[in-house]
Structure 1
Amino acid sequence: MAHAAPRPRRAIERGGTTDLLSERAHRAALVVLPVLLGLVYGYWAAANRRYGGPITGWNLLFGFLTALVFAVVLMTLMALAPKLRREVHAVAWAAFCGIAVGFLFSQSGGSVLRSTALALAVTAGVFGIMFYRFYTREDAQGHRVDRP
């Protein structure tokens, strides 16, 4: 039978997890992650827009501008959203995700009504998940609660 490895009493009382990356790596991830996600999103939007046709200069420009806007909005959301109350925090993430998915779908040639319906469905789902997450990890004033 497998047993848990013994830990010193001090480590048990301290709790939490071991942080493998340095503070510098965490700060770099706050920029690198949105840029990488923005590039993927921009490529995806440009690919949807060209409908499998040849890659043109306008298509590349559209992809890079989409990537830039996505990355800037994501970085802004990552910086400002934690300062909001949990309800508004959840609404901000839900709106961002719903708009992003609706825009991608609209670039593939779907109707405005289907794009809107999909965006609203994604927004509702993300809001439910994020509200639950923030509600269980913050107190009423918005301060994070340390979990045992």
Structure 2
Amino acid sequence: MATHATMPTRGRRTRAPSTVRHGHTPLGWAVPVTLGVILGFWAFFIRRDGGVTTNGQIWLGVVSGVAFAALCFALGRVQRALPRELSAAAYGALSGGAIGFLYSLHDNSVLASTTLGLVIAAGVTCMAYYVIYTHME
């Protein structure tokens, strides 16, 4: 008996389409750059605290923004190669470190900054694991 042409086959896998792009998408650049600009401006304005703008404050914002953007870009490139748990932990560490750094700029103690960073990192790790687990194959 003949089967219909659209009948699914079992155990067979089709090849990936040849139109898969191996470059960087505009969104892959835009998200890290936007997050880096936001963090850089945030660090600058926390350190400025309504006073006069100095070169040190500007450089603090630029360097912290560029470093955060570079780390976000690097994490975005390797996230698919990492296991789910490690990828979620990397997102947690990145966000917890950023929040802890920004909190420390407002003349808070190292202990308070570390505690807030660890709490944020734990929350983001749990959230990222849930999102990655439900959306990955």
In structure 2, stretches of 5+ residues that fail to align are 1-20
In structure 1, stretches of 5+ residues that fail to align are 1-22, 139-143
Equivalenced residues, count? 115
2:82 is aligned, of 81, 84, 98, to 84
- Which residue of 2 is the match for residue 115 of structure 1? 113
- Which residue of 1 is the match for residue 4 of structure 2? none
- Which residue of 1 is the match for residue 91 of structure 2? 93
TM-score normalised according to structure 2 size: 0.78
Cα distance change on mapping 1:124 and 1:30 into 2, 3 Å: same
TM-score normalised according to structure 1 size: 0.73
Cα distance change on mapping 1:33 and 1:135 into 2, 3 Å: closer
Deviation per CA, 1:59-92: give whole Å up to 9, x if none: 1111111111011010001111221000101100
Shift of 1:36: 1.8
Rounded Cα–Cα distance in structure 2 between residues aligned with 1:124 and 1:33: 22
Identical aligned pairs, as a percentage? Answer: 37
CA RMSD, Structure 1 to Structure 2 (Å): 1.5
- Which residue of 1 is the match for residue 63 of structure 2? 65
SS of 2:88's equivalent? helix
Amino acid at match of 2:59: L
Rounded Cα–Cα distance in structure 2 between residues aligned with 1:134 and 1:29: 18
2:40 is aligned, of 33, 39, 42, to 42
Shift of 1:113: 0.8
SS of 1:82's equivalent? coil
Point out the structure with max Rg over C-alpha.
2
Rounded Cα–Cα distance in structure 1 between residues aligned with 2:62 and 2:134: 38
Rounded Cα–Cα distance in structure 2 between residues aligned with 1:131 and 1:36: 23
Amino acid at match of 1:52: G
Rounded Cα–Cα distance in structure 1 between residues aligned with 2:73 and 2:89: 16
Q: Comparing both structures, which one devotes a greater share of its residues to helix?
A: 1
